Amino acid sequence: MPEQPKRVTLTIDGKAVTVPEGTTVLQACEQAGSPVPFYCYHPGLSIAGNCRICVVELTNSPKLQIACNTQVAEGMAVLTTSDKTLQGRKEVLEFLLINHPLDCPVCDQAGECWLQDYYMEHGLYDPKFNEQKVKKPKAIPVGPTVMLDAERCILCSRCVRFTDEITKTGEFGIFNRGDHSEVGLHPGKTLENNYAGNVVDICPVGALTDRDFRFKCRVWYLASADSVCPGCSRGCNIQIHSNREREWRPHIAKGQRVMRLKPRYNPEVNQWWMCDVGRYGYRFIDEERLERVRFRDNGSSRDAGWDEALAMIAEALTRARAEQRLGRVGAILSSHLTNEDLYAAKRFFGELGVTHVAFQRPKLGESDGFLLQADRSPNARGAQALKIAEGAEPILERAAKGQVDVLFVFTQDLVDLFGPRASEALAKVKLVIFIGTNWNPTAKLAHIALPSAVYAEKDGTFTNLNGRVQRLHAALAPWVDARPEWQILAALASRLALEPPGVDAHTVFAELAAREPAFRDLSYEMLADQGAQLAA
């Protein structure tokens, strides 16, 4: 048994608190429900102790002390709301704002700025400074994704410590002295690492802003939903920030609904961070989408309704079943499907008697040895846990030999993955049904293209590379006529007199957990915000 850390008891605002030895006063105050304000402190970075707004009164000390860099001691008494403490915070805040510009009306950070929040809580002072403010560089691109406004910077050094300690790329530094000190890039450096966007997340003020989000939307018009990044097999926890004001859509980003993605803390997966590949990979959600059912025949195409499409597909499958030709039916699933979608597909094709079913991963990308994985699949591990075969090549080979009459293709662009031989194989299939989110060459070759919902439009789960099952929450309504894949398969099952897997994602997952050993005992309630491990 490892030795347990020694425990220390102190009082915070009259409440007794017991914490492990080595805990800082700031951390103890948070545990006691008496949080103190801070700028420079971040739980994922080293302690700098240079913003000074976390000052508290210790009854055995004549001066105020910073809570972030003071460790607890037995019998210590801490006061976080005494007159002396509150006056100290007010003076620190006034000092930090001496040279700060009055940019709030045009600053992207407005609405989520700690300077604004703490001023309303701890400031409200009569300013004594009436000298000329120091001018510093404004709106300077420091890299492809980040803009610097040095006048707004309060020198918390979070960005410096992030690039020194987390990415270890060392782009940022603090230069000059006194009130002329300013954050900036080291000579010859550009902020182009895979995690550059995180410096915007951790900047407590408007000094570092996201060039992609800049002037796009005020934060108080954003709705937020917890989800999981689909960019690779890591499964970073994220928040999807979407434009909830429908009347704004014609004027903001050409009708774009998703405004930005932000990392969400999960100590088991991504801690506080996410890579830029995932952060800026959201644009496909609102671009080149399949909007309606599309039929293609003899070189021409037309829009159609769901009833017509489902009836045609059900008729083809009924004929294959009656003629005992289900061996000439195939399905290529995708590692971008949720566990619920994959389970519904496995159940549907299994009950129908289709044996040629496999899932396909996308092309490999680059891995950076931190969060970003070469496997760009958000749910390959989920498909494996459901014991679905991997690889589309055997099915394509059968199609190329004329041995496939009906082929379902989910999401993946087989032409991009396999080149001309995929086009040649699909040309020999009598009925190609594409079920996916965006137009691609495979969708254009399909006889029937069915629009499905992207991850941001549906509830469900992904399983990451380490076997952690994590929740997706719908941030948006499905695009035009799009539906979740499990729902499409449920509608087909009803037409073929098969039992549908459930009435919503929750009931589909409940059945999945009851029937699939790897997901044994899991539930949406158990997964909560942080996810849970597979049983095997």
- Strands laid side by side in the 460-463 sheet: 460-463, 468-472, 532-533
> Do both 281 and 299 map to the same domain?
no
> Do both 504 and 464 map to the same domain?
yes
Q: What is the mean pLDDT of each run of 10 residues along the chain (536 residues)?
A: 80 94 94 92 94 91 93 93 92 87 88 86 73 87 95 93 95 90 93 96 94 91 94 97 62 68 97 97 93 90 94 96 94 98 97 96 94 97 97 96 96 95 95 97 96 96 97 94 96 93 93 96 95 90
Domain finish residue from 261, 286, 311? 286
> Do both 323 and 451 map to the same domain?
yes
Q: What's 31's domain CATH number? A: 3.10.20.740
> Do both 41 and 151 map to the same domain?
no
- Residue 117 resides in a domain: no
Place of tokens 């999807």: 240
> Do both 190 and 337 map to the same domain?
no
- Residue 109 resides in a domain: no
> Do both 272 and 300 map to the same domain?
no
Domain finish residue from 286, 308, 341? 286
Q: Vertex 244, ends 450 and 236: CA angle to 5°?
A: 70
Q: What's 249's domain CATH number? A: 3.30.70.20
Closest CA to 152 of 201, 119, 104, 189: 104
> Do both 150 and 259 map to the same domain?
yes
Q: At what angle do helices 505-515 and 339-352 cross, to 10 degrees?
A: 70
- Residue 185 resides in a domain: yes
> Do both 72 and 136 map to the same domain?
no
- Residue 384 resides in a domain: yes
CA distance 37 to 28: 13
CA distance 227 to 475: 8
> Do both 512 and 422 map to the same domain?
yes
Global confidence as pTM: 0.91
Question: How confident is the model at residue 117, as a pLDDT?
Answer: 85
> Do both 505 and 480 map to the same domain?
yes
> Do both 272 and 299 map to the same domain?
no
Question: How confident is the model at residue 245, as a pLDDT?
Answer: 54
Q: What's 521's domain CATH number? A: 3.40.50.740
> Do both 419 and 314 map to the same domain?
yes
- Residue 344 resides in a domain: yes
Q: Vertex 143, ends 137 and 146: CA angle to 5°?
A: 70
Q: How many domains, in total, are found in the chain?
A: 3
Domain finish residue from 49, 73, 96? 96
- Residue 102 resides in a domain: no
- Residue 77 resides in a domain: yes
Q: Vertex 44, ends 39 and 49: CA angle to 5°?
A: 40
- Residue 152 resides in a domain: yes
Domain span at 243: 130-286
